[in-house]
Structure 1
Amino acid sequence: MKALLLRDLRLALRAGGGFGLGLAFFLIVTMLVPFSVGPEATLLRAIAPGVLWLGALLACLLSLDRLLALDLEDGSLELLLTAPLPLEGALAVKALAHWLTTGLPLVLAAPFLGVMLQLAAPGHLWLLASLALGTPALSVIGMFGAALTVGMKRGGLLLSLLVLPLYIPTLIFGAEVARRGAAGLEATTPLLMLAGLTLAVVALMPFAAAAVLRMGLR
């Protein structure tokens, strides 16, 4: 599992579509918002939690189509199906590699980008906590979508259409945690809901992804 994780990390960093692209997209979205809605601090402060969460979600989408595409191209996907390591475990490791190269940089960058959107000081810690809890779910759900569309021509658009509805609960609870935290309100309840959602996704989605991948590659 360690060797597979290190391999996927190297592929993500060398092939592009991971760390740099997602982070650059997140930065561009955050920088463009003040130009589109105006520089009024009160307005920016009100929309900052939702904008930052939406930007992180869309940044995660950029590299999902490459989660299994490279393995399919070089033939290693067929080897994973016959390897001693269970396919569910292999897919979970690949989702972890995606989160480390895409989700984690977004989590670390979000508080700094929150300053650009005038996010209230109490909201920074809540934003960091919500993204740290929510972005793993985005990577695991994305793995499921990649398993559904692997091998399809122009599957990137279809992947986005399949995954976006599944992202909505995570977006709702994550943005609500940041919004309540920035307003000085109690944010424990949506944070616990977000944590429970992530745990459920991490526990179940690798099995669903492995099942559809086996059916798709028969």
Structure 2
Amino acid sequence: MIKVLIVDDQKTVQEILRSYIEKVSDLEIVGFAEDGQMALEKVELLRPDVVLMDIDLPSIDGLTVTKIICERFVDTKVIIFSVHDEDTYLNTALHVGAKGYLLKSTPPRELVNAIYSAYKGYFQLGPGLLERYLYKVDQAQSNTTEIEQLRRTIEQQSMLLERIHTSNAQQDRYQSSAGNYNELNQNYRKLEKQFNMVQYQFQKMHKQFETLQNFIFIFSVAMVIAIFIVILVVI
């Protein structure tokens, strides 16, 4: 049983998430929190496996709470669940240790899949976020072979997750047949290993992208200073 804590200051959102999660037999909601301080207290008391975390919270914002949870409670995985789709929030969530970033428009099936993935230690971006993040990387990246290979690997994330959960469903459907079950189980383990590698490469690419962004910023500042100095000399 996967224990889930829901952190959101809106009762409507809490009830919507409850309706999604209570339909899944191996997911259990252990509690709700309406602000950042309460979230930390509930995590310490209940020790959930996965936390669904809003960003805009009273007392302490969700990203700060996520950072604290990831540092203090290493067995608890946090998924950001927010209306914000700006890159700044996504980059910060990655930096503080979140295991996923979903928009509140995410369909129930994708939400449940993300909970399973986070519980297993995998990272998942919500529908649309992965494609947009890759597009920004494409605009800034160099044409090195390594970066291109990483880009192609990350694009497999959604497909691999779908295949993993399809395998789970097929196992449940065909458990009466030992041969089919064993074969599906072997395929599932192979896909888990593949996705573990995808997660590692995603994190590696994110660090490279941050480095490139910093270089571009420093270079731009240096160019402005150089132009200013030339203008002073000419004058």
TM over 0.5: no
Name the one with the larger strand percent.
Answer: 2
Name the one with the larger helix percent.
Answer: 1
Q: Which has the higher contact order (CA 8 A, sep 6+)?
A: 1
Larger Rg: 2
Structure 2 length normalisation: TM-score?
A: 0.34
